[in-house]
Amino acid sequence: MKLYGYFLSSAAFRVRIALNLKGLEYEYASVNLTKDQHRTEEFARVNPQQAVPTLVDGDRTLTQSLAIIEYLEERYPKPPLLPASVDARARVRSIAQLIACDIHPLNNRRVLVYLKKELGLHKQQRDDWYRHWVIEGLRPLEKSLSTSEQTGSFCHGETPTVADVCLVPQIFNAKRYEVDLGPYPNLLRIFANCMQLEAFDRAQPSKQPDAE
C-alpha cells in the first residue's frame, strides 16, 4: 500500500493511525501542500481531487479519510475500529463526524489560506476563527463524552475506534494553535491514553519523514 500524505495533514494523520492500528505496512509518499505539490499534473493522475490523503491499495485508489478508514475496516477487519453493535457504531461514527465534518473542514490549510489571501484577514482574526470552530465542536463533544456510560479509556469503551482516530489529530491541531484545552478534561484524558499506544505515537506529524 502507498499513502500519499503530508505530515501536517490531520486527515492523513487519521489514515496513518488506522493503518498502524491494523498493523498494515505502507509506503509513505509526501505531498508537500505548502509547495502546492498536490496541484501538480503528476499528482492529479493519482487523485483527480488533488487532495491528501490518497491511499493506493493494489489497483485501487482511495480518497477521503473516513471513506478510506471504512474501506480498511471492511477489507482488513482485525482489529476492528468500529464496535460490533449497530447502536455503538452509530455513536462512534457520530463522534468521528462531529470532528471530521463540523470542526476540521473549517480549519484546514486551504481555508486559512483563503482567509488570509482572499479576505485579507490579519493573524488575530484568523486565530479567532480557528479557535471559534474548535471550541464550537469540542465543547459539545466533551459534554457528550463526559455524560455517557459508554465512554471508557477511549471515546468508546476500552479499545480505540474511529472516534479516537479522528480525535487525536484534532487535539494535536488545537494544541498547535494554542487553544486552551483546560475545559475538556475527558478529551485530554482520552488523548493521553491514545498517545500511549505505539500506533498513535508513530503516526504523529513530527515523526513523519517529511516533518519540518
What distance in Å separates the CA atoms of residue 111 and residue 94, rounded to the nearest whole number?
24
According to DSSP, the β-strands at 27-30 and 60-63 are unpaired
**Is 143 one of the binding residues for its own copies (CB under 8 A)?**
yes
Choose the binding region for its own copies from 2-10, 57-65, 170-178, 196-204 (rule: CB under 8 A): 57-65
- Return the ∠ at Cα 47 (arms to 66 and 23), rounded to 5°: 45
CB of 50 to its own copies, least distance (A): 7
One residue of 128, 150, 178, 185 binding its own copies per CB under 8 A: 128
Please state whether the peptide bond connecting residue 77 to the residue before it is cis, i.e. omega within 30 degrees of 0.
no
**Is 109 one of the binding residues for its own copies (CB under 8 A)?**
no
**Is 23 one of the binding residues for its own copies (CB under 8 A)?**
no
**Is 121 one of the binding residues for its own copies (CB under 8 A)?**
yes
Place of cell 479509556: 153
Surface-to-core class of residue 36, CB atoms within 10 Å of its CB (0-12 exposed, 13-18 middle, 19+ buried):
exposed
Strands lying side by side in the sheet with 60-63: 27-30, 2-5, 54-57, 60-63
**Is 210 one of the binding residues for its own copies (CB under 8 A)?**
no
By rule CB under 8 A, what count of residues binds its own copies?
46
**Residue 75 vs 207, nearer CB to its own copies:** 75
**Is 201 one of the binding residues for its own copies (CB under 8 A)?**
no
SS3 119: coil
**Is 100 one of the binding residues for its own copies (CB under 8 A)?**
yes
How far is C-alpha 189 from the geometric centre of its chain's CA atoms?
A: 18
CB of 39 to its own copies, least distance (A): 12
Residues that bind its own copies in the complex, under the rule CB under 8 A? 48-51, 60, 62-68, 70-71, 74-75, 86-87, 89-90, 93-94, 96-98, 100-102, 104-106, 110-111, 114, 118-119, 121, 125, 128-129, 132, 136, 140, 143-144, 147
